[in-house]
Amino acid sequence: MSTLATLFVVVLLLNLVPAFAPPTWMAMSWVGFNISEGNPFVFAVVAASAATIGRLVLARFARSLLRGRLMRESDRENIGVVEEWLKKRRKLTVGAFFLYALGPLPSNYLFIAYGLSGMPLRVIGVPFFVGRTISYSAWAHLGRIASAYIDPESEFEGGYLSGYFVITQLALLGFVYLLTKLDWKVLIGERKLKWRRSIKRPGLVERGPTTKH
């Protein structure tokens, strides 16, 4: 029971971090590799529950802080176009999150981007949990199989915080930022890629040089 509790807390913390956290599939591979007496499916359910809760909290944080306080009104209106488009295609959203959860790609940026919209979080919670349960179970099984052929005391070169990992995380977070700068009304309505121009705040009037009399 203590092992499951520790796994839940570790995975929860990993999925609360918005960027540069080790991927959870590595943790599941480690569990399968080092704890051969456990049930991989039980480990997967516990880890998927923690990952889903962590990511939903991350999405809620992005919604309350980024969208609610830091984003300009024009940016919120722009994201609202995507929100209306997604509301009409809820099955597509559910399917996309399920398929994405089956893979090893990081999901932090995906939940941050979704959190910027006003869509209900329960729409993505269930498919993400199911997909992650399947993928984590597979990683735990692969770790158990690998433990039979690899010396547990052998050292592996490299680490998760490699140059490739850092560049990937920065690129994905930059991708989220670019999503807010796309003109979604033009992209969805006219299917043209267009960047939104920065809008000057009202009340700011450029003043010319003053002359003294």
Q: For the chain, which residues make up each domain, given as ranges?
A: 2-150
Asked whether the beta carbons of 115 and 61 are under 8 A apart, the reply is yes
Q: What's the one-letter identity of residue 189?
A: G
At 107 the pLDDT is: 86
Query: Residue 135 CB: number of other CB atoms within 10 A?
Result: 21
Q: Is the pLDDT of residue 123 over 60?
A: yes
- Tell which residue, 116, 159, 124, 145, has the closest CA to residue 23: 159
Query: How high is the pLDDT of residue 115?
Result: 83
User: Which of 85-89, 116-120, 169-173 is least confident?
Assistant: 169-173
Residue 156: what pLDDT? 45
Q: Return d(Cα 14, Cα 122) in angstroms, integer.
A: 21
Average pLDDT rounded to a whole number, residues 125-147: 87
The pLDDT value given to residue 127: 94
Stretch among 119-133, 134-148, 158-172 having the lowest mean pLDDT: 158-172
- In the predicted structure, residue 194 carries a pLDDT above the cut 80: no
Report how far apart, in Å, the C-alpha atoms of 108 and of each of 12, 18, 33, 136 are: 12, 6, 25, 16
Q: Exposed, middle or buried by CB within 10 Å (0-12, 13-18, 19+), for 52?
A: buried
202 pLDDT above the threshold of 60: no
For the question of whether the overall pTM of this predicted structure is more than 0.75, the answer is no
**Amino acid sitting at position 112:** I
